[in-house]
Amino acid sequence: MTDFAFAIDVHELTKKFNGKTVVNGIDMQVPKGKIFGFLGPNGSGKTTTIRMLCGLLTPDGGRGTCLGYDVIKQSGLIRAKVGYMTQRFSYWEDLTIRENLEFTANMFGMDNVKQRVDAALENLQLTDRADQLAGTLSGGWKQRLALAACILHEPEILLLDEPTAGVDPKARREFWDEIRRLSDKGLTVLVSTHYMDEAVRCDEIIYLAHGNIIVKGTAQEVLEGSNMPTLEDAFIYYMNKSEEKAS
């Protein structure tokens, strides 16, 4: 993997839509191989933030790098090294798991397609289901297929936009075991989630509201700073403090 001090190092990152500030001067440094969780209410700027961090959306202001590349001037180089998994299953239900992966690899002009697909099937425990139609899979297995497709090109950053929404608890736990395994191999992961049990599995969590970072740190640091018993209570505490400060 590329040699750089931080996988992501950005300052004053800002984004506006139709004159409205959606992300307001975000500062962030993400070490390589870490899992950063983004939490916050709908419309808080989570998805917009992580898309800017990964070169998928151009900032209106600020500066910084992702994987050593300028987030504004070299976004195309960043995108080539990002694996992006959306909340909604976006692959072909009338194709088998293997056919989906082969089609994805060919669509992006990858070499060694068979070897890449075989490795992805094995890594995500999909080999025994390789010939099963994607449309017949449960939510958890569709999730595994989507993750396999995302890592086919061996990205250095994985962007997960609420990947476990609507998936049963067992499948969510298994998915997170895979994410931790990938992180341990050096893959940097940015994930948005609404689940508190997933937040505590992140190396660091960031809570956003109205485009601003309300609090960030490890789950333990967030709890200790609020003197609250749960993360949900802690986020409410920090939200109230930020609103008091703004008024």
Residue 136 lies in a domain: no
Residue 229: give the domain boundaries.
Answer: 220-247
How many domains does the chain fold into?
Answer: 1
227 within domain boundaries: yes
What is the structure's pLDDT at 246?
Answer: 65
pLDDT of residue 88: 75
CB atoms within 10 A of CB 158: 23
pLDDT at 24: 95
Count the neighbouring beta carbons within 10 Å of the beta carbon of residue 2: 10
Q: CB-based burial of residue 228 (10 Å sphere; 0-12 exposed, 13-18 middle, 19+ buried)?
A: middle
Report if residue 2 sits inside a domain.
Answer: no
Quick check: is 234 in a domain? yes
Domain-embedded: residue 224: yes
Q: What is the pLDDT along the chain (247 residues), one digit of tens a residue?
A: 445 679 999 999 999 999 999 999 999 999 999 999 999 988 899 989 988 888 889 999 999 999 999 999 999 999 889 999 887 777 899 999 999 999 999 988 888 999 999 999 998 889 999 999 999 998 889 988 999 999 898 899 999 988 887 778 888 888 899 999 999 999 999 999 888 889 999 999 999 999 999 999 999 999 999 999 999 999 999 988 888 776 5
What is the pLDDT at residue 219? 93
pLDDT at 3: 55
The answer to whether position 31 is within a domain reads no
pTM score of the predicted model: 0.87
Q: Specify if 167 maps to a domain.
A: no
- Residue 162 pLDDT: 86
Q: In this predicted structure, what is the pLDDT of residue 1?
A: 44
Q: How far is CA 76 from CA 13, 56, 69, 185, in A?
A: 18, 8, 9, 24
Residue 120 domain-assigned (yes or no) = no
Q: How many CA atoms lie within 13 A of 128 on its CB side?
A: 2
